Structure 1
Amino acid sequence: MIDFKQFVKYSKPGPRYTSYPTAVEFSEDFTYDRYVEKLKNRDAKKPLSIYIHLPFCRSACYFCGCNVVFTSKEEKKVRYIDYLTRELELLSQTMESSSDIVQFHFGGGTPTFFSAEQLDGIMNTVKKHFPNFTEDAEVSCEIDPRFFNEEQMKVLKKHGFTRISFGVQDFEPIVQQAVHRIQPYDITKEAVELARKYGVESINIDLIYGLPYQTLESFKKTLELAHSLDPDRLAVFNYAHVPWLKKTMRKLDETTIPSPDVKLAILQHTIDYFTTNGYKMIGMDHFAKPDDELFKAIEKGELHRNFQGYTTRGGVDLLGIGLTSIGEGEDYYAQNYKELPEYEAAIDAGKLPFWRGVELSLDDRIRKAVIMDLMSNFKLDIEKIEKQFGIDFKEYFADALEALQPMVDEGLVAITDSAITVSQTGTLVIRNIAMPFDAYMQKHAASKKTFSKTV
């Protein structure tokens, strides 16, 4: 039995590492002209992943850390589609758009807050400008089961959507009430059955632990209900409480949020529950069935991580489209404006709505490769990194290896001449294991308002 109190010392602010460098390092030093140059010069033979942000929600879920716009006005959605269309036109004029599209994702907000006709129109526009979707492309959409109907599902089917991710978070009524998201089990069950009816290949369910009023016993019930829906994948996220960034989080009673040792107990039970019920833990917070491609990728050490989560589609550029979207190239990240007036003004001026980003140095690229491998595969092939970048790993990362020694002594991680391997217990604090390799952590060490806590 694990003594979770020993892990409380690891409850410190730290990144989730959906990118490296993280978004807090993005700045306007990476200029518009430099970004356009990157797009113009990219190799069209290299595959593309496309992310489109549909930011609107009818009302706030108090736990949400996403960039959303709350509205009930139809004209706002119509206006946004017009600007998305113009952004896609500008992109196709700026870059070669004949690349194979191997991954596509609708994120939110609530993508299905848009009507079936609107979703169909957006997809037709995407395919007009970026037509080469591969036959095995991973085409996915985030869905709030409270806003999902058969007409929308028909559109998703028509456009080849193979994965759907349903937001649930928790099935306990007291938790749902506290976070302002009332979503009875039956609504979620009906949404999952609708997706199955139309042959969706992979269904994911999102849960969050660390929400107000959650206990180990209450979350056990949520896990059982989620399992009863027979999802192919589950994402079980650690709630990131950042009220200094998200005003809606200030509505939560912090005294009702579970303590770090309770959260760790919930996470350990979650891991035990799903692994004994036929799922494999994938990366930091995902679980998948053995026949899922994520499962197969982690067995081969080929899992990758980007802003869309875990993926098998490594070595591709990510094109972020829409308000606040983030794109990724081999040596840069680029983010669109976060506010609608600025986003619209750029497009009205005939420019891409690019706001800021970061161009990666060689050191950034080396550290990114190390951190992303640890976060994805819980293992790092030291020799592979040395060959890829021409470095002596133990010399280059002497300070990081020294910082990891206490975790080695506790059995959380093992270090040999050829590999760094995270133990099953160590996966509970994988963000902490990755952090010593982060060259930017020292300048944020004194700040409690940069990252959410790791535990």
Structure 2
Amino acid sequence: MYLRRTPGLHNIKSDIIRDISYIDQDYTVYPAPNFFTEEIHVKKLADRLYHPNSVRNRPHRALCIHLPSNNSPSLYCNTPQLKHNESAHIDRYTDYLLKEIGLIKKAFQNTVALEQIYLEGGTTTLPSQSQLRRLIDAIGQNFSLRKNLLFRTTIALPLADHHSINKLYELGANDLTLCLKDNNLPRQSTGPRKLANTPNENKTQEVVATARKAGFDIIRIKLLYGQEKQNEGHWGDTLDIVVAAQPDLINLQCGPSASVAEKADNARLTTAFSLIEEQFDSRLYSIRHLINAGYIHIGMNLFARQDNYLVTAQRQGRLHYDLLGYSILPDYDVIAVGISAIGKSGSALYQNHSELLHYYNQLDQNKLPIMRGLELSPDDLLRRSVMYALICHSVISFESAETYFPIDFKQYFAHELSVLTAYEKAGLVTINEEEIAVTPTGKLFVGNICQVFDQYLRNN
């Protein structure tokens, strides 16, 4: 299939675009967790998170539960620590999740209403149906669930079937993420080329159709791109298969970070930078493919069908971006449960212990397993608001920032505006006396544009 030309994409050759795009940050968390501090007073943080005034002043809440597995390591956890065939270990982990939920309920004192539930990680490759049922029952017993609850869960697409999808829906899930890696790569062997885990077209369409029939409101497919030695032809086939299934959302996620080049020794630098180039080309190829297929690029490598609610919200200026990605809900708190899970309350961010033994030990002492956290400074809040305005609306008005923060925008961000002149020459942004606007081409790299405002990245 020959792709028709997409305006603004076929001439992306600027060196600055290649230079900035090798770090692929999504900025759902700012500052990044590695800048959290373990010196934070956990009890004071917990008191702040669960204080009755906090509940009254910020009524919107989400519960995010991390289920680590060998198939889906956490973004903020160095190594996966549970395997789907270790039933006894998973039972134990589930027990501790329930204990943590009980401690959170006790800390809140009063019943707290949830608007969203997110099960992150290996949802169906890790817990059994009975283990999931215990978890869902505990949530219902300890929290009040709002009528229009959004309940998102994840499953590896190759492992999904009619039974597992229907069971997830019966448990209350209504937003399904199907994870798919492009493993159509030659095996390291001699002789005829063999393909591994080819995403079957009928299988993909059947899974999506089953989810729709079951009653899921939203179906998204998360695609991992830019893996080493990824074959463009096979990747194109994978994109065709996914598009043919017509999911509501398609989320492109970069493979193993090309930023390993920063840590590589001289002997590995050539390979690392080669991977950077491959990932850049794969990203552009994927963007062209999905836009030509009729999907709308919301931003941050998320593509939506034209009738999706996120497209409407973005057009109407109602789109929000936060710890859990794009949303139509205003600022909400996130209650984190499980190892390495990240939560927020107002201007405070925190992360649970990322090692099982430490996580278990804290809960055995009836302590919330918070490992580190950060109280955002006024500068952090300002920079985050600028980033989110660019991510959601592709524009930041100097006057709007000055309305909420006691600054002169052009003076405060003089360095950033100077850096952005190169981005303007590359066609990524336009800058005038009133605002910074992201161009259609720049929207494809808006996360990279946000790096200019990332004070922590610059200082480190």
TM range (shorter): 0.7 to 0.9
Q: Secondary structure at the match of 2:47?
A: helix
Amino acid at match of 1:421: A
Q: Which runs of 5+ in 1 are unaligned?
A: 246-251, 445-455
2:37 paired with 1:27: yes
1:414 counterpart residue number: 430
Q: Is the 8 A contact 1:47 1:99 kept in 2?
A: no
Equivalent position to 1:182, from 166, 183, 197: 197
Summarize deviations over 1:127-159 as a string: whole Å, max 9, x none. Answer: 11112x222222110111344454543443234
For 1:139 and 1:228, locate their aligned partners in 2 and report how far apart those are by CA, in whole Å. 25
- 5 Å-filtered alignment, 1:402-441, equals 402-441=418-457
TM-superposed deviation, 1:39: 1.9
Equivalent position to 2:103, from 74, 87, 90: 90
TM-superposed deviation, 1:283: 1.6
Q: Secondary structure at the match of 1:56?
A: coil
Q: Secondary structure at the match of 2:321?
A: strand
Q: Is the 8 A contact 2:182 2:199 kept in 1?
A: no
2:60 paired with 1:44: no
CA 1:175 to 1:324, structure 2 compared with 1: closer, same or farther past 3 Å? farther
Equivalent position to 1:297, from 294, 297, 313: 313
For 2:170 and 2:326, locate their aligned partners in 1 and report how far apart those are by CA, in whole Å. 25
2:132 counterpart residue number: 119
For 2:11 and 2:367, locate their aligned partners in 1 and report how far apart those are by CA, in whole Å. 55
Q: Is the 8 A contact 1:168 1:183 kept in 2?
A: no
Q: Is the 8 A contact 2:199 2:238 kept in 1?
A: no
TM-superposed deviation, 1:63: 11
Amino acid at match of 2:165: M
Q: Is the 8 A contact 2:185 2:231 kept in 1?
A: no
1:449 counterpart residue number: none
Equivalent position to 2:407, from 391, 406, 415: 391
TM-superposed deviation, 1:258: 5.8
Summarize deviations over 1:340-388 as a string: whole Å, max 9, x none. Answer: 1000000000101110011111111111111122233332233222212
2:293 paired with 1:277: yes
- 5 Å-filtered alignment, 1:310-349, equals 310-349=326-365
2:395 counterpart residue number: 379
Q: Is the 8 A contact 2:205 2:244 kept in 1?
A: no
Q: Secondary structure at the match of 2:440?
A: coil
TM-superposed deviation, 1:66: 7.3
For 2:450 and 2:72, locate their aligned partners in 1 and report how far apart those are by CA, in whole Å. 32
What's the RMSD between the two structures over aligned residues? 3.1
Q: Secondary structure at the match of 1:237?
A: strand
Q: Secondary structure at the match of 1:200?
A: coil
Percent identical across equivalent pairs?
27
2:150 paired with 1:138: yes
CA 1:324 to 1:67, structure 2 compared with 1: closer, same or farther past 3 Å? farther
- 5 Å-filtered alignment, 1:125-274, equals 125-131=138-144, 133-170=145-182, 172-174=184-186, 182=197, 184-185=199-200, 186-241=202-257, 255=271, 259-274=275-290
For 1:103 and 1:216, locate their aligned partners in 2 and report how far apart those are by CA, in whole Å. 37
For 2:124 and 2:327, locate their aligned partners in 1 and report how far apart those are by CA, in whole Å. 20
Q: Is the 8 A contact 2:251 2:303 kept in 1?
A: yes
Q: Is the 8 A contact 1:53 1:107 kept in 2?
A: yes
- Calculate the TM-score normalised by the size of structure 2: 0.86
Amino acid at match of 1:415: I
TM-superposed deviation, 1:238: 2.2
Q: Secondary structure at the match of 1:222?
A: helix
CA 1:160 to 1:381, structure 2 compared with 1: closer, same or farther past 3 Å? farther
For 2:27 and 2:345, locate their aligned partners in 1 and report how far apart those are by CA, in whole Å. 16
Amino acid at match of 2:47: E
Amino acid at match of 2:401: I
Amino acid at match of 2:26: R
Q: Is the 8 A contact 1:47 1:101 kept in 2?
A: yes
TM-superposed deviation, 1:213: 1.8
CA 1:171 to 1:120, structure 2 compared with 1: closer, same or farther past 3 Å? same
Q: Is the 8 A contact 1:102 1:313 kept in 2?
A: no
Summarize deviations over 1:192-244 as a string: whole Å, max 9, x none. Answer: 23312201111101112210222433322111011111111000122242797
Q: Secondary structure at the match of 1:43?
A: helix
For 1:357 and 1:60, locate their aligned partners in 2 and report how far apart those are by CA, in whole Å. 24
Q: Once structures 1 and 2 are overlaid, which stretch shifts more, 60-69 or 205-214?
A: 60-69
2:296 paired with 1:286: no
Summarize deviations over 1:75-107 as a string: whole Å, max 9, x none. Answer: 011101110111000000001453331111100
Amino acid at match of 1:224: D
Q: Is the 8 A contact 1:170 1:176 kept in 2?
A: no
For 2:188 and 2:61, locate their aligned partners in 1 and report how far apart those are by CA, in whole Å. 38
Q: Is the 8 A contact 2:72 2:121 kept in 1?
A: no
Q: Is the 8 A contact 1:143 1:166 kept in 2?
A: yes
1:102 counterpart residue number: 115
For 1:172 and 1:65, locate their aligned partners in 2 and report how far apart those are by CA, in whole Å. 27
Q: Is the 8 A contact 1:170 1:219 kept in 2?
A: yes
TM-superposed deviation, 1:433: 1.3
For 1:225 and 1:284, locate their aligned partners in 2 and report how far apart those are by CA, in whole Å. 22
Q: Secondary structure at the match of 1:220?
A: helix
Q: Is the 8 A contact 2:183 2:196 kept in 1?
A: no
Amino acid at match of 1:182: N
CA 1:258 to 1:127, structure 2 compared with 1: closer, same or farther past 3 Å? farther
Aligned residues: 436
For 1:33 and 1:181, locate their aligned partners in 2 and report how far apart those are by CA, in whole Å. 49
Q: Once structures 1 and 2 are overlaid, which stretch shifts more, 301-310 or 324-333?
A: 301-310
CA 1:123 to 1:67, structure 2 compared with 1: closer, same or farther past 3 Å? farther
For 1:14 and 1:272, locate their aligned partners in 2 and report how far apart those are by CA, in whole Å. 18
Amino acid at match of 2:13: F
Q: Secondary structure at the match of 1:19?
A: coil
Summarize deviations over 1:19-54 as a string: whole Å, max 9, x none. Answer: 111112111122211211212325324110110111
2:4 counterpart residue number: none
Equivalent position to 1:8, from 13, 18, 23: 18
Q: Is the 8 A contact 1:326 1:336 kept in 2?
A: yes
